[in-house]
Every structure is written in structure tokens, then in C-alpha cells.
Amino acid sequence: MKQYKTEKRNQLMGFLMSHRDEPLSAEQIAEGVPGVALSTIYRNLAHLADSGDVHKSLSADGHTVLYQYYDKPRCSSHLHIKCVSCGEMKHVETELSQDLAEKLEEKNDFSIDAENTVILGVCKSCHDKGEK
């Protein structure tokens, strides 16, 4: 079924794009997109996740679904790192991603899919708080 770009979907995408490095719950997104019902947020997030425009993941505790804008051209050329404590996901610099991918292929005869590879760890903020 064809999906139409509505004003509410445009508002939602605008909000997600302005918070591209933050995984957010549907409730957090709804707070940032006033005037759009939570049910509309959920329905649009489902369509955006199916189309690949939004990345869907679980929070560190595994209880909350998080959504994050997925910039296809930007994401396809590098690896991603995700904090297992706070859930923040960031892009690894393209040059470093390529260097790591080349080393893995050279040393292990293994070619990684940078677009879909997420390296798990703990961010500096959570590490400084003593979280693991």
C-alpha cells in the first residue's frame, strides 16, 4: 500500500532528523512533536521503520523500543557505536571505519557490512558515571 507524505509525517521526520544522534522512545518523540497524537506517532514510526528511514532498537534495559533517524547515504559508509548503558548510537568517522574494515578483511578474510554493523560498548559519559 502506498504511503503518503502528510504534514504530520513531515513534522515527525523533521524532529527525528534534528535529533539524528539520539535514540528516542515514541513518548519522547510525541513530546517533541506537539499536536500529533501518540497513536499517529506509532503508526508513522512503523511505516518509517519498514521503509528504512528510521532505525528501531531496544533500550539498554530491553524494555523500551527506541527510534532513530537513519541517514542512508551517511550510514552506509561507516560503522556505528552504541552505548549499552544509555542506548546512544553514534557514527564512527568514515576514515576510521574504512581502516578497521580493511584490517578485518586483510587479517581475517572477512568483509564487514558497515551499514548494518553496530559495535557495542560504553560511552564516556556512562563510563565516567561508573555505569557498565
Q: How many residues in the chain?
A: 132
Encode pLDDT of 90-103 as tens digits.
888 888 988 998 99
| Domains of the chain, start order | 7-69 (1.10.10.10), 72-124 (3.30.1490.190)
pLDDT at 25 exceeding the cut of 90:
yes
Contacts of 36 (CB under 8 A, 6+ apart): 8, 11, 12, 30
pTM: 0.66
Rounded average pLDDT over 23-33: 94
Q: What per-residue confidence (pLDDT) applies to 89?
A: 77
Q: What per-residue confidence (pLDDT) applies to 78?
A: 77
pLDDT at 116 exceeding the cut of 80:
no
Find out whether 132 and 122 touch, Cβ atoms under 8 Å. yes
Cell of 122: 560504553
Contacts of 112 (CB under 8 A, 6+ apart): 79, 101, 104, 105
Q: What per-residue confidence (pLDDT) applies to 18?
A: 93
Tell me how far CA of residue 5 lies from CA of 9, 10, 16, 90, in angstroms. Answer: 6, 7, 15, 28
Percent of the chain with pLDDT over 70: 90
Task: Identify the band that residue 13 occupies on the pLDDT scale cut at 50, 70 and 90.
Answer: very high
